[in-house]
Amino acid sequence: KAGVTQTPRYLIKTRGQQVTLSCSPISGHRSVSWYQQTPGQGLQFLFEYFSETQRNKGNFPGRFSGRQFSNSRSEMNVSTLELGDSALYLCASSLLIAGGMTDTQYFGPGTRLTVL
């Protein structure tokens, strides 16, 4: 089975611009989560989608948004970019166990976003 794929792998943007990142989960996985990784803050949860619905959201400003499509592919968008948004953005997919028990999340390689 192919793993989680993320595109693009690298992005360079300037302050004030917006950016859209894409994630394709492992085939059959319906839950997709997004994380931001920075040297200072580590790995922080952004949001999680299941069946096109956002179920959980982390403590990030409204400039960060996402969506999930019917094929489980997901996108996240960051508007009005700030220097502090420079980070590795990771997508993870999960096969939800019946009953809602937490299941393993498999991560993609990430998108490295640099804001100048």
Partner 1 sequence: QQQVKQSPQSLIVQKGGISIINCAYENTAFDYFPWYQQFPGKGPALLIAIRPDVSEKKEGRFTISFNKSAKQFSLHIMDSQPGDSATYFCAASGGSNYKLTFGKGTLLTVNP
How many other CB atoms sit within 10 Å of the CB of residue 76? 23
Task: Kindly report the number of other CB atoms within 10 A of residue 34's CB atom.
Answer: 24
CB nearer partner 1, residue 52 or residue 103: 103
For the bound state, the minimum distance from the C-beta of residue 86 to partner 1, rounded and expressed in Å, comes to 16
Non-local CB neighbours of 98 within 8 Å, separated by 6+ positions: none
Q: Which is nearer to partner 1, 75 or 96 (CB)?
A: 96
Which residues contact partner 1 by CB under 8 A?
Answer: 4, 31, 33, 35, 42-45, 48, 50, 55-56, 58, 90, 92, 94, 100-110
- CB of 19 or CB of 108, closer to partner 1: 108
C-alpha separations of 6 from 40, 49, 83 in Å: 23, 16, 22
The distance of closest approach from Cβ of residue 9 to partner 1 in the complex, given in angstroms and rounded to an integer, is: 9
